[in-house]
Amino acid sequence: MKKVKRKLGKYEVGRTIGEGTFAKVKFARNTETGENVAIKVLAKSTILKHRMVEQIEREISVMKIVRHPCIVRLHEVLASQTTIYIIQEFVAGGELYDKIHLGRLSEDEARRYFQQLIDAIAHCHSKGVYHRDLKPENLLLDFQENLKVSDFGLSALPQQGVELLYTTCGTPNYVAPEVLDNQGYDGAAADVWSCGIILYVLMAGYLPFDEADLPTLYTKIKAAEFSCPFWFFPGATSLIRKIIDPNPQTRIKIEGIKRDPWFRKNYIAVRAKADEVVNLDDVRAVFNDIEDAFVSEKSEDSESGPWIMNAFEMITLSQGLNLSALFDRRQDYVKRQTRFVSREPAKVIIETIEAASESLGLKVHTHDYKTRIEGVTTNRAGQFAVVLEVFQVAPSLFMVDVRKAAGDTLEYHKFYKTFCTKIDNIIWKPKEGQGWLKTGAEPQCGTEVRTNSIAFS
């Protein structure tokens, strides 16, 4: 079977860089400007079947309204007869969650990310938008390690005459206590609480509220029953306690945070461009008549076999021009998107992956050198899924891209380490001093890669 290279209007569409239950994210290039972008691909049939039209339209509209340097930028929305394409900024530095997984951050580094987060959320609130699902997994980093807020799927837009929100949503460990009470809450105050939890996690390396069962977790959240580690400086502890205040009426507001002495140290405000015109015509066109065709899709046949990833594409996955970031030695560190290298033929790689997956009791689906493996999460609370795709990077040298598609991130880390022991025979481990692409880097199982983690439903 021949693989297909696609063009979507002015965009040349490449490999899949993210995959979830309802959407895929593709790497693409604007052929007019040469700019790299990420395209979120959603099937109209899926959106209609799951009654997600309103949610997706809201998310797109919000991302166009809240234009800020610390928020993932939405360029435009396109549609064909069957599919909606959301063209977004390509953010290549990975998730902030990945940095925390290595351990707590220094006070200065945590403060810098927190300052950028507060600037971004202040801008959202100035537009009447409340995120409602702030957590490290939804905070991305660009090449310069600047923060980018993503995933506005649960965000709320202002409604005429409505001051309180009533939808209970968000991730339990980061959600404000008033959101759990089901009696209405202020979206701005709820976002501030989540920002405080994020700051705590950045500096501590763990959550302030982290219980195995939800009733105990909610009890501690509502009572703000937590303690700060001994290494927190007094200024940070004082600010965190003002933010993680169970009473939204007395909880510090963003204006107060920006005046706080600890916050203001080395603070350089990040501001949006003044009076930037936002046009929602393309969004309305897509959703007013969800069956219309707006762009042409062309396919170009190429030789059979797995996708060939050229050096330029590989550079876009690494930090700048240093390819060694693709092949880090730390085998005990797994990111949301991970890679390993093999010298076995592509078919042998796929067969080994399938056999290893089946030995772990997982369901296997393979198509065109891409395998999706599925199972049930350890606590049986939902689906667990991982996608593995084979790319050719040189003659007789293949790279296998592994990414979480569903389930908890920590569970994915545990799975990957177990999975590696099952496929160890196909993983290429160069001898000492043997380089790869003349970089001197040695690919190992557990290789990390800083890659785009555009949020997907």
Cα separation, 332 vs 130, whole angstroms: 37
The length of the chain in residues reads: 457
Q: Return the residue matching tokens 């089946």.
A: 358
∠ CA 225-229-234, nearest 5°, is 100
Q: Are strands 24-30 and 36-43 parallel, antiparallel or unpaired?
A: antiparallel
Residue 49 among known ligand-binding residues: yes
> What are the start-end ranges of the E strands in 160-293?
none
- The set of catalytic residues is 133
Secondary structure in 3-state letters for 255-267:
HHHHHCHHHHCCC
Q: Return the residue matching tokens 């969800």.
A: 290
Q: How many CA atoms lie within 13 A of 387 on its CB side?
A: 19
Find how far residue 331's CA is from the centre of its chain. 22
Q: Which residues pair with 130 in a beta bridge?
A: 156
DSSP assignment of 101-144 equals HT-PPPHHHHHHHHHHHHHHHHHHHHTT-B-----GGGEEE-TT
Per-residue CA distances from 158 to 62, 66, 122, 162, 163 (Å): 11, 13, 15, 7, 8
Paired tokens of 260: 């706080």
Paired tokens of 387: 């996608």
Which segments are annotated as binding site for ATP? 49
